[in-house]
Amino acid sequence: MSTKEKEPANLSRRDFLKISGIAASVPLVVSPTATEAQGQQAGIVGPGAVPITLTVNGKSFSADLEPRVTLLDALREHFDITGPKRVCDRGECGACTVLIDDRPVYSCTTLAIEAQERQIITAEHLGGAQPHAVQSAYVNNDAQQCGLCTPGFTVATKAFLDKHAHGADAEIAHGLAGNLCRCGTYRGIHGVIAQMSGREPKGNAGTTTIAERLATSAEGGA
């Protein structure tokens, strides 16, 4: 080994750590602006803010947001649309439910950048300029207590009834299972479904058709 090789490097431990940190960050700085996804080139955005435009309740909203911003944060914090509520913030309770192209989704687990060029409807505009019949039914059936879950529940209920206008009890339980009510007003919520589908509440959670009740009453009266 030569004398030159035996000489210690003229670097302190602090200098070494500084150089190592810079070297580790270089790939982040010079990372590509496109990547391949499903055999096609896809652009990479961020991590800084980028222009985002959303169509919410028939209106266009624009802001510069980081790609990591959720739809819930965009609606509440940037566009002052507060119908969707932040409760669990992890896609478990449904209080933040909105409609995207008529499909109920959790806005807390949806990125705002993903919702561009799609129609977003929140509880504020569920019936257009007037309250939706589902929202009125929630009032009529006392299906809300603290009200924190109610906007998300009304959105989910409307979406359910659009597909199951006369859903059976099992379909109701399954269709609304993604929304939780901490006050336990499920009896009233089933009453909403009953009112909207021409049925009436029965028992703790079931429903029965009004026609069946009238037929039974007529038989009893006879």
Whether 137 and 190 map to the same domain: the answer is yes
Whether 97 and 158 map to the same domain: the answer is no
pLDDT at 21: 56
Q: Is 38 within a domain?
A: no
CA–CA–CA angle 16, 18, 24 (5° rounding): 100
What CATH number does residue 103 fall under? 3.10.20.30
% residues pLDDT > 70 (the chain): 70
Q: Is 90 within a domain?
A: yes
Q: Is 67 within a domain?
A: yes
Domain count, the chain: 2
Whether 109 and 149 map to the same domain: the answer is no
Whether 212 and 147 map to the same domain: the answer is yes
pLDDT at 148: 93
pLDDT at 114: 96
Whether 80 and 139 map to the same domain: the answer is no
Whether 111 and 154 map to the same domain: the answer is no
Q: Which of the pair, 24 or 145, is modelled with greater confidence? A: 145
User: Is residue 88 scored above 50 in pLDDT?
Assistant: yes
Among 3-7, 64-68, 137-141, the range scoring the smallest mean pLDDT is 3-7
Whether 93 and 113 map to the same domain: the answer is yes
Q: Is 35 within a domain?
A: no
pTM of the model: 0.72
Q: Is 20 within a domain?
A: no
On whether the CB atoms of residues 21 and 28 are closer than 8 A, the answer is no
Q: Is 33 within a domain?
A: no
Whether 103 and 171 map to the same domain: the answer is no
Over range 143-166, report the average pLDDT: 94
Tokens of 181: 């009510």
User: Is residue 30 scored above 80 in pLDDT?
Assistant: no
Q: List C-alpha distances in Å: 201 to 63, 119, 182.
A: 46, 34, 21
Task: Give which of 85, 98, 76, 75 is closest to 182, Cα–Cα.
Answer: 85
Whether 149 and 103 map to the same domain: the answer is no
Q: Is 150 within a domain?
A: yes
Confidence of residue 44 (pLDDT cuts 50, 70, 90): confident
Q: How far is Cα 186 from Cα 168, in angstroms, rounded to an integer?
A: 15
Q: How much is the mean pLDDT over the chain?
A: 81
What CATH number does residue 214 fall under? 1.10.150.120
pLDDT at 198: 82
pLDDT tens, residue by residue, 197-212:
887 655 444 455 444 5
| HSE-CB for 184 with a 13 A CA cutoff | 1
For tokens 């129609």, name the residue: 119
Range of the domain at 187: 133-221
User: Is residue 3 scored above 80 in pLDDT?
Assistant: no
Whether 57 and 91 map to the same domain: the answer is yes
Q: How far is Cα 36 from Cα 39, in angstroms, rounded to an integer?
A: 6
Q: Is 32 within a domain?
A: no
pLDDT at 205: 45
pLDDT at 190: 87
